[in-house]
Structures are given as C-alpha cells and as structure tokens.
C-alpha cells in the first residue's frame, strides 16, 4: 500500500477561497483505495465551521523551533467522506476570519505550517511515500525536507510533488525577513534556489526542490514556459520541463449533477433537458426580476470579477452584449470597477441584467442550470472549473482559447457537427463579441443544432476519475 499525503492551505468543505479547495477536497476520494492510502493535512483555521471543529479528535501536541522562535503545534484528526484529515493547530497563526491576509504575516504562517506538517508525521505514525504539495503556501515543504529533515531516517526516500494551481501567486517577500522566519541558511537564498529578482519566493523553492511538478491542464503546462504566462519563472519551467506535466482538474460529479441537484428548481438529464432545463430558466428569470421570456438568450457568469478573468473585454462591449434579446446574469465579487459596472447595467436594464455582487453556492448552481450560455473570456486560466460545471449542466460555454479552457471546451464546427461550446483565440473584445453573437444566432435560428451541442456538452466526461488515474500513474512512477 503506497502512502500519499496531500498538504494544502484550503480544502472543501472546511475552507474555500478558490478552485484549489475543490481539488484538494475531491481528488483524494477518487484515488484507488486498494492501492493508495491518501490523507490530507490542513491548517486548523479558527474560521472553519463549528460543525467540523466539534468532530475533530485531539491527537498530540509538541513545541517546534522555527528559526529563533519556539512555537506550539497541536494536531487534530477528522474522518470525512472516508478520508483522514489532519489539522495543524496554532492560534497565533490561524486565528482571524480568513485564511489569508497580509503577505508579510502569511509568509511566516505558511513557513510554520510547512515545518509543522513534516514535524508531525513521526508523532502520528504516518510515513508517506509521497507528499503532494499544493501552491506557494506549501512551497517550503520540499525545501525543509532536503534541509533539516534529511538526517532523520524517518524522512529518507520521501518524494515530493508540487502542483501549481495558479502561477500568479508565488509567496514573495524580502529575503532577509524570510531567512529570519524560516531559519534556512544563506546558501538557500541564491538565484538557483529561493531567490528571484532580489526577493525570496516560496513557490520557486518548491519548484526547485520538488521531485516532480504538475499543473492543472496540458495547455497551461506549455504556456508557463513562455514569457507571457510564466510570471517571471518561465526560465525555471523550461529548465524543469522533463519533470513537468499537466493533468486537467475534474469536478465532483456527485455534487454537480443536474439530475439530483437539490439546489436547482427542476432536475433534468441528457434525455429530457429539451423540456425540463428551460423551466429552470423561467424560475430564475422570475426570481431575479428579469423578463420571463424563453426567447431571450441568457448568458451566465460566475467568477471573481478581475482582469485575469477577462472583464476588461466585457467592460469594452457590454452595451452591445446587453442587446434587446439577451439577458446577463452575473455572480461574484472582485475589483470595485467591475462590481460597479454590473450594478450600473442592472440599474439601466433591470429586465435583462442581474448583478449579484456576492458569492452564493446555491445561486451559482441555479445559474449553471438556467443559463443558455456561460461566458469565460479569461486572459489566462490554469484550468478553470466553471466551464466544466456549465458543460455538466448543458449550459454552453463561450471561452477564450487559453489554458484549461482550450483543453476542455471543443469549439463548435457547423460543417462537421462537432463541439461542446464556442471559443475565440485573441484577447480582443470584438472577437469575443462576434463569438457571443455567433452562439446567439445558433441558439435562436438553429435550435436542433444548439440542442446537439448541449447533448455533447452533457455527455463529456470531466469527472475526477480519469484525472485520478493520471495521478496514480505519476505516484507509481515516482
């Protein structure tokens, strides 16, 4: 039995700020239990809901050196969905209402977390063959493993995998402070190790020292070797390309299932969506105070409202998008400029624009089930989960061809009768607008063709099963 430990800063249902939490929460469930013992280690944030904190069992506690400080480390355990979760407790670091705050506090918090995660293992009697680290918050773990733990027989032979969920976030702070926090000696803060452009970079440390690197789609694995997408680390990605692979994320097909979803008004499946899906649209139009009209082309957006997600393109042509025969339903928070943009258009066109400037899981499910199309014009997108959810619900994605969007949405070809969505290549507002208009013309004038796109979208398989097989192969190779 091979033992694998996931170490991450967030995980559903305990703590979520983005797609990372979905991956860490779902993937372990789909890895073959006969061959692998997969467990997960997380910070015990004060903000974790009480219902989970009450189920945690105390395992042990000890004191650990972090450079010149001595810090308390508590360890709790929880069984959830058949997986063992360990929680690292320290109120000084993990209090507060959110998992992340100021970067200068976060760099110390996650240095503590990385070292405490390793220090805990002998005491709980779990000796993993592989430690699977996720994003910059766990970047120091492979570094510590090669530094202060290498003399200890318990840790000899442990391999590490580093997964990049979004290369933009790297955990950067000045190297003197990081040296002081981590206790790593000066030899680690050189350009071939943790130093990047004069600062210390946690993610870079993980990428240099990990035995293998994965990222969350094939296209993104190629893109991050280029200057445009490489966020300053493209040289390192090229240097390590023999140990780099892309494995596209999946989604939890039990949670996202239009046939059994309790959060939507009317359940449907690939056989009866022609009659049943439209009922969700009418219900949502009613609920949001939009014109209740089957003929209106409803576009959904569920997203962080930021430049990365392509909202500057939408800003440029929003007047044209909000044409008479179109409805736009937006859910999410982000940059104030974009929040106010959608509020303004909801005020200007109350019967066709709905701005929901907050996050609600229930409302997101309703949008996936009700909209005709789903818009995702990202500047870059390591994997993206929203387009996978919209495919599952038969809501046709309109995406820019980048990263995971390119890998998961097959563009409609009217001559061959293939494709599961619509896509455009260049980061250009009018190219996006033309693609939206093309999708709308198929929806309005070629209903049979549109329904075939929906059918292909709903039968595409982006469950975790196929991705889990690829991770198993990787673990076996290591």
- 3 state SS for the chain: CEEEEEECCCECCCECCCHHHHHHHHHHHHCCCCCEEEEEEEECCCCCCHHHHCCCEEEEEEEEEECCEEEEEEEEEEEECCEEEEEEECHHHHCCCCCCCCHHHHHHHHHHHHHHHHHHHHHHCCCCCEEEEECHHHCHHHHHHHCCCCCCHHHCCCEEEEEECCCCCCCEEEHHHHHHHHCCCHHHCCCCCCEECCEEEHHHHHHHHCCEEEECCHHHHHHCCCCCCCCCCHHHHHHCHHHEEECCCCECCCCCCCCCCCCCCCCCCCCCHHHHHHHHHHHHHHHHCCCCCCCCEEEEEECCECHHHCHHHHHHHHHHHCCCCEEEEEECCECHHHHHHHHHHHHHCCCCEEEECCCCHHHHHHHHHHCCEEEECCCCCCCCCHHHHHHHCCCEEEEECCHHHHHHCCECECCCCECCEEEECCCCHHHHHHHHHHHHHHHHHCHHHHHHHHHHHHHCCCEHHHHHHHHHHHHHHC
Closest CA to 303 of 418, 208, 385, 247: 385
Predicted TM-score of the model (pTM): 0.93
Q: So what's the pLDDT on residue 331? A: 97
Domains of the chain: 2-250+465-477 (3.40.50.2000), 273-461 (3.40.50.2000)
CB atoms under 10 Å from CB of 104, counted, come to: 12
Q: So what's the pLDDT on residue 17? A: 87
Distance CA 321, CA 323 (A): 5
List per-residue pLDDT tens for the chain, 478 residues long: 999 999 999 999 999 988 899 999 999 999 999 999 999 999 999 999 999 999 999 999 999 999 999 999 999 999 999 999 999 999 999 998 999 999 999 999 999 999 999 999 999 999 999 999 999 999 999 999 999 999 999 999 999 999 999 999 999 999 999 999 999 999 999 999 999 999 999 999 999 999 999 999 999 999 999 999 999 999 999 999 999 999 999 998 989 999 999 999 999 999 999 999 999 999 999 999 999 999 999 999 999 999 999 999 999 999 999 998 999 999 999 999 999 999 999 999 999 999 999 989 999 999 999 999 999 999 999 999 999 999 999 999 999 999 999 999 999 999 999 999 999 999 999 999 999 999 999 999 999 999 999 999 999 999 999 899 999 999 999 9
Q: So what's the pLDDT on residue 18? A: 83
Q: So what's the pLDDT on residue 293? A: 97
Long-range contacts of 280-289 (CB under 8 A, 24+ apart): 280/366, 280/369, 280/370, 281/370, 281/371, 281/372, 283/366, 283/370, 284/329, 284/366, 284/367, 284/370, 285/327, 285/370, 287/366, 288/329, 288/354, 289/350, 289/351, 289/354
Distance CA 365, CA 7 (A): 29
325 Rama class: left (phi>0) / alpha (psi -120 to 50) / beta: alpha
Asked if 244 and 218 touch (Cβ cutoff 8 Å), the reply is: no
Asked if 237 and 224 touch (Cβ cutoff 8 Å), the reply is: yes
Q: CB-hemisphere CA count at 13 Å for 312?
A: 5
Q: So what's the pLDDT on residue 322? A: 94
Total residue length of the chain: 478
Asked if 329 and 301 touch (Cβ cutoff 8 Å), the reply is: yes
Sign of the Cα torsion 347, 349, 351, 356 reads negative
Distance CA 287, CA 280 (A): 10
């Amino acid at each position: 039995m091979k033992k694998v430990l996931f170490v991450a800063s967030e995980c559903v249902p305990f703590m979520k700020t983005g797609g990372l939490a979905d991956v860490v929460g779902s993937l372990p469930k789909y890895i073959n239990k006969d061959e692998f013992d997969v467990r997960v280690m997380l910070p015990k944030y004060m903000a974790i809901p009480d219902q989970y904190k009450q189920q945690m069992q105390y395992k042990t506690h000890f004191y650990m050196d972090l450079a010149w400080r001595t810090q308390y480390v508590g360890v709790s355990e929880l069984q959830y969905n058949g997986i063992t979760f360990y929680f690292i407790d320290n109120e000084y670091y993990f209090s507060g209402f959110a998992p992340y705050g100021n970067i200068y506090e976060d760099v110390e918090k996650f240095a503590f977390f990385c070292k405490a995660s390793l220090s805990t293992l002998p005491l709980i009697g779990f000796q993993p063959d592989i430690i699977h680290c996720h994003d910059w918050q766990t970047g120091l773990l492979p570094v510590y493993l090669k530094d202060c733990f290498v003399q200890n027989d318990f840790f000899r032979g442990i391999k590490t995998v580093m997964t990049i969920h979004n290369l933009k976030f790297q955990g950067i702070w000045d190297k003197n402070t990081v040296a002081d926090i981590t206790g790593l000696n000066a030899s680690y803060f050189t350009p071939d190790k943790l130093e990047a452009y004069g600062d210390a970079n946690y993610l870079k440390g993980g990428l240099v020292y990990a035995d293998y690197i994965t990222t969350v789609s094939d296209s993104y694995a190629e893109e991050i070797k280029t200057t445009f997408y490489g966020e300053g680390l493209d040289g390192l990605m090229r240097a390590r390309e023999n140990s780099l692979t892309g494995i596209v994320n999946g989604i939890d097909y039990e949670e996202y299932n239009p046939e059994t979803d309790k959060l939507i008004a009317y359940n449907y499946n690939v056989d009866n969506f022609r009659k049943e899906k439209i009922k969700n649209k009418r219900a949502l139009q009613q609920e949001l105070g939009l014109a209740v009209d089957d003929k209106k082309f409803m576009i959904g957006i569920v997203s962080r409202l930021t430049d990365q997600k392509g909202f500057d393109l939408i800003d440029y042509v929003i007047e044209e998008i909000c044409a008479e025969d179109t409805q736009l339903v937006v859910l999410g928070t982000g940059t104030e400029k974009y929040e106010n943009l959608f509020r303004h258009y909801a005020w200007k066109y109350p019967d066709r624009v709905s701005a929901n400037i907050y996050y609600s899981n229930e409302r997101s499910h309703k949008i996936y089930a009700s909209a005709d199309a789903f818009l995702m014009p990202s500047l870059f997108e390591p994997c993206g989960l929203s387009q996978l959810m919209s495919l599952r619900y038969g809501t046709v994605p309109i995406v820019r061809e980048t990263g995971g969007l390119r890998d998961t949405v097959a563009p409609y070809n009217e001559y061959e009768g293939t494709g599961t969505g619509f896509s455009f290549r260049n980061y250009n507002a009018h190219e996006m607008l033309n693609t939206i208009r093309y999708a709308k013309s198929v929806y309005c004038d070629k209903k049979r063709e549109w329904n075939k796109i929906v059918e292909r979208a709903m039968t595409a398989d982006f469950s975790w099963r196929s991705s889990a097989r690829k991770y198993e192969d990787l673990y076996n190779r290591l």
